[in-house]
Amino acid sequence: MKELTSTDEYFKAIHPATVSVVDFYADWCGPCKAVAPGYAKLAEQYKNQASFYKVNVDNNQGASSHAGVSAMPTFGVFKSGKLLETVRGADLGAVERLIKKHGAAAKPVYVTQGHVLGQKPMSAQATSSIRHVIQAILAYFVSLFSLLPLESATSFVEAAQARQKGREMQRQRAPPRGFDGSDRFSFNKKESPASTCSS
């Protein structure tokens, strides 16, 4: 059982998703001294269901004011930084009931929704589907404004897939050529198809 001597330690102790029990006591308080051995036994008995701490209200006034302590001893039961319930006075039976109530379901807390074996998580599937829809729309627009729509849409999709896989696309085909065999947007008027056709 740990003594929380600073407000920072106190907030770190009550923040986990598991149950934390805090004994707010004072050195001059007779009932606090009388209940201390019983609280230590509870801490040992329920160490797998909750974490147990002590706070001296005179030395750590920030923690005691956060919990709203006005009488000693006061036992606070916390979970995820929230005060669930308190017990005022030296009633260890009530403290034990609260530990059983809130700590009995002290199963592992999973932050993510988990995975089904052999499947991607739902968020990855949704992201993948959205990515494919966007690629299809972009490929459509690329093909609209191109002279060779099928080849430009195919190369666009291949480039997108190569970027996704993290490797460079290797050109498997020659780039589209213009009428004269050079790049597709320029051709010499002297060698245009109309002047070079033979009959």
Measured between its terminal Cα atoms, the distance across the chain in Å is 101
If one counts every other C-beta atom within 10 angstroms of the C-beta of residue 69, the result is 22
CA distances from 32 to 13, 17, 80, 84, 147 (A): 21, 27, 26, 21, 87
Is 32 catalytic? The answer is yes
CA torsion 15→49→53→9, rounded to 10°? -20
Q: Which of 32, 43, 67, 98 is catalytic?
A: 32
Q: Which of 13, 22, 29, 98 is catalytic?
A: 29
- Show which residues are catalytic: 29, 32
